Structure 1
Amino acid sequence: MDHLLHLDRTLDELDPPRWPVPAADATHLVRKVHQLRCVPLGELGPADLRTLVAQRVALPYVLPLTVRLLVEEPLLDAYFYEGDLLLATVAVPASAWAVLPGLAARLRTVITVLPDATVAALPRGAAGQLTRFVARPPTGAS
């Protein structure tokens, strides 16, 4: 299924069950994620996607949008620093990519063409994260 066909729908619609209203004492992050589930996918910005990816929310719908942005601008500064969306995305567990093997392959290609100097300028540990993502066996491999 092409998850990008649903840009007019929200995660609450696409990823049931709908989440209840957060508790009155919920953290800012919890309230933000709940709000983002009510935004049509096509209206989610890079910072929104970074938040959803980092919190592992509705990844089959969020990762296609995220990778689409990263193909265009791998080191996009979504919220905190240059490359933050990429690093949040490669930190997603391998199991989340199982339903999106072609997307994982596209992201691997994007990462492998990044200049070494660019990768070296990312925060400490980033090069290792990127290397581990690229080295992961494709879904279905032993």
Structure 2
Amino acid sequence: MDHLLHLDRTLDELDPPRWGAPDADATGSIRTVHGMRHIPLGDLSPADLRMLVSQQVALPYVLPLAVRLLVEDPLLDAYFYEGDLLLASVRAPSSAWSLMPDLHARLRAVITALPETAIAELPRGAAEDLARFVTQPEAHGPGRSGTR
């Protein structure tokens, strides 16, 4: 399913069950993520996507949006630093990527095209995270075999 077709819908609509209101003692981050579930996908900012990916919320819906941005600007500064959305994305669990092998391949191609100088300027540990993502065995969607 192409999750980008649902840009006018919210995560609460697309990713059941709907979340209730956060607890009264919830952290600011939890309140923020709860609020993002009510925003149409097409209105989520790069910073929102970074937060949702980092918190592993509705990854089948937010990773395609993140990759769409990263194809255009791999080192996008979503909120904290240059490349923060990219690093959040490659740190998403491999189980999420296995549901979207074509998306995984697109992001892998983006990463392998990055100049070494750009990777060297990312925070400590980033080069290892990127290398781990690139060298992951090719992801295959449900019901797909490893043969071509």
Decide: shared fold, TM above 0.5.
Answer: yes
Give the TM-score range, shorter chain.
Answer: over 0.9
Matched, 1:14 2:10: no
TM-fit CA distance, 1:99: 1.2
For 1:50 and 1:108, locate their aligned partners in 2 and report how far apart those are by CA, in whole Å. 18
**Percent same amino acid among aligned pairs?**
70
Unaligned residue ranges in structure 1 (runs of 5+): none
- Normalised TM-score (structure 1): 0.98
Q: How does 1:1-142 map to 2 (within 5 A)?
A: 1-140=1-140
CA RMSD of aligned residues (A): 0.7
For 1:91 and 1:85, locate their aligned partners in 2 and report how far apart those are by CA, in whole Å. 10
For 2:69 and 2:139, locate their aligned partners in 1 and report how far apart those are by CA, in whole Å. 22
Number of equivalent positions: 141
* 1:87-124 per-position Cα deviation (integer Å, ceiling 9, x unaligned): 00000010001111000000000000000001001111
- Normalised TM-score (structure 2): 0.94
Unaligned residue ranges in structure 2 (runs of 5+): 141-145
For 1:26 and 1:44, locate their aligned partners in 2 and report how far apart those are by CA, in whole Å. 22
